[in-house]
A and B are shown apart, each in its own frame.
Chain A
Amino acid sequence: MISSVSGAEVAIEVHDLRKVYGEHTALQGIDVSVRCGEVFALLGPNGAGKTTTVEILEGYRQRSSGEVLVLGHDPARRAASLRQRIGIVLQSSGIYSQITPREALRHWAGFYPHPRDAEEVLSLVGLTDKADVRTRKLSGGQRRRLDFALALIGDPELIFLDEPTTGFDPEARRTAWETIRSLQVLGKTILLTTHYLEEAQVLADRVAIVKEGRILAIGPPRDLGVGAAHYRVAYRDASGETVERQTDDPTRLLHELTGEALARGEQLQELSVARPSLEDVYLELTADA
């Protein structure tokens, strides 16, 4: 049975989720629980199973086995009452080429019981300038913003974002991050996938690192390093060479290094201690064995 995370209400519960495509096993037992109001990121290399997981939660794909609850519903049943409460940005999807963003948003608004104002959403994603331009004339990044806008128009409680900022220029990415944070402030739950470590680090309350259909590590980005990667201690030795050592116990290593240096009457030039970054953890975990 699914056991809930203590204290908070749970938006998404996944237990031992498996997905097989013909011969290929894409998901080999995923366990995840996302609290209401949380921003949760799935991070992993190409083909890790991120889209497969998200699309099972969205009701697009059928799972092979396991338990899944999204806002209390089994998404495979595709209840309209669930779809009214979620917003979806697919990894790739299209739109009528002759429609304008404003028309699209007004039309989509009609699908939902309590939609947001189209103009407000246009300005939220930064498309006000392009509101009356046919979508076929929009740039890739502008179309992506429209994807985002269409996911928000129904004022969803839970938002799925599959690589929402791929193809954004750096400024657009920052804007998108601000938008996502503003959604979090409104109490929305967000499940996003990304290849950008910085994005996960900046946005997510918790991150799961996925590879080959398994979760390798899960936790708040700043805690993920513990146990999974090592502190890096670097300095320049007497001959001027940069030395880098990795350790799980920086206190002890520093004590040894500084003790030895003092005993030799040397200095440790440019001594630094680095916490393992999410990137270190990620690279270490996803490196091919």
Chain B
Amino acid sequence: MPEALALTWRQYRLERRMFWRNPSAAFFNFALPLLFLAAGGAILHGNQQQLNLLVPAIGGMSVMSTTFTALSYNIVFLRERGVLKRIRGTPLPTSCYFGGVAANAVTNTTIQIGIVILAGRFVFGLSWPPDWVELFVFVAVGVVCLASLGVTFAHLIPNFESTAAYVNAIFLPVLFISFFAFDSKSAPGFVHNIAAALPLKPVMDGLSGAMVSGSGISSHLDALAVLGLWAAFGLVFAVRGFSWEQKRG
């Protein structure tokens, strides 16, 4: 076991180094949510009720972009370039490899949530999160759920060139529906229903409870259940359909 941990740790450090050396990945992971925060903050300046919604919504978006988006990109890239196949030919245990990759994503999520909390506290007039336990639970469940869905989604992407199109075809609509339903009570009922069934708005709801209202996990059990179901689905198919090699055609 210590050896497996050491291998995972080495892989994690390599993934970190590669992450920082890839400027566009670093940009999409960090700058984009910050830009959303800045823009939203400027528009909603002084409207505390709206800012209370903006901050957890951006938090939810951060969880999704650092896990779902980043992992589908990475997996497709590494698969199509033949990096996965090369690693599979070495004695490195699969679990250590993916442990390192997942830990890398979790690190990015953690950093971003940290930035969002700090921005909320010092720029947008929020207090420190009233419920750290709920924060931890929703970030953790959100990460497992969206990361496994990201890996599953990578199976559907046939080549690296079309990755952006595929990922955005999911990410953007989910983001808009979730923002819309989260932000506006007046949104049509079917929008609320769709958003509640997708895996992003439940994360926003949980983060809202954790960062703003302090309403406690018990008031968001339904959200947790939705995420749990998605996570179960994602985990099964992430492992099942996994392809180490370039797709033909």
Chain A residues within CB distance 8 Å of chain B: 58-60, 80-81, 83-84, 86, 88, 90, 92-99, 103, 107-108, 110-112, 134, 150, 154
Q: Does B114 interact with chain A (Cβ within 8 Å)?
A: no
Chain B residues within CB distance 8 Å of chain A: 7, 10, 14, 17-18, 21-22, 78, 81-83, 85-86, 88-93, 244-245
Bound: A59/B22 CA distance, A: 32
Given contacts A59-B89, A96-B83, 15 further A-B contacts (CB under 8 A): A58-B89, A60-B85, A60-B88, A60-B89, A83-B90, A92-B82, A95-B81, A96-B14, A96-B18, A98-B17, A98-B18, A98-B22, A110-B10, A111-B91, A112-B91
Known: A98-B21, A98-B22, A99-B18. A108 touches B83 (CB 8 A): no
- The answer to whether A83 and B89 have CB atoms under 8 Å apart is yes
- A92 proximity list for chain B (CB < 8 A): 82
Bound: A252/B245 CA distance, A: 57
- The answer to whether B82 and A90 have CB atoms under 8 Å apart is yes
Bound: A81/B78 CA distance, A: 25
Known: A88-B89, A98-B21, A111-B91. A93 touches B10 (CB 8 A): no
B156 to chain A, nearest CB (A): 21
- The answer to whether A95 and B86 have CB atoms under 8 Å apart is yes
B203 to chain A, nearest CB (A): 30
The count of A-to-B residue pairs whose CB atoms sit within 8 angstroms is: 63
Question: Which of B17, B86, B89 is packed against the most chain A CB atoms within 10 Å?
Answer: B89
A60, A95, A111, A150: the one contacting B92 at CB < 8 Å is A111
Can you show 27 pairs from A to B with CB atoms below 8 A apart?
A60-B88, A60-B89, A60-B244, A80-B93, A81-B91, A83-B90, A83-B91, A90-B82, A92-B82, A93-B86, A94-B78, A94-B86, A96-B18, A96-B83, A97-B22, A97-B81, A98-B17, A98-B21, A98-B22, A103-B14, A110-B7, A110-B10, A111-B7, A111-B91, A134-B21, A150-B86, A154-B90
A58, A84, A134: the one contacting B91 at CB < 8 Å is A84
B76 to chain A, nearest CB (A): 12
- A97 proximity list for chain B (CB < 8 A): 22, 81
- A98 proximity list for chain B (CB < 8 A): 17-18, 21-22
6 closest A-B pairs by CB: A94-B81, A93-B82, A98-B21, A94-B82, A88-B89, A83-B91
Bound: A150/B89 CA distance, A: 11
- The answer to whether A94 and B91 have CB atoms under 8 Å apart is no
- B88 proximity list for chain A (CB < 8 A): 60
Residue of A nearest to B248 (CB): A21
Residue of A nearest to B19 (CB): A98
Bound: A7/B140 CA distance, A: 60
- The answer to whether B90 and A108 have CB atoms under 8 Å apart is yes
Question: Which of B7, B88, B244 is packed against the most chain A CB atoms within 10 Å?
Answer: B88
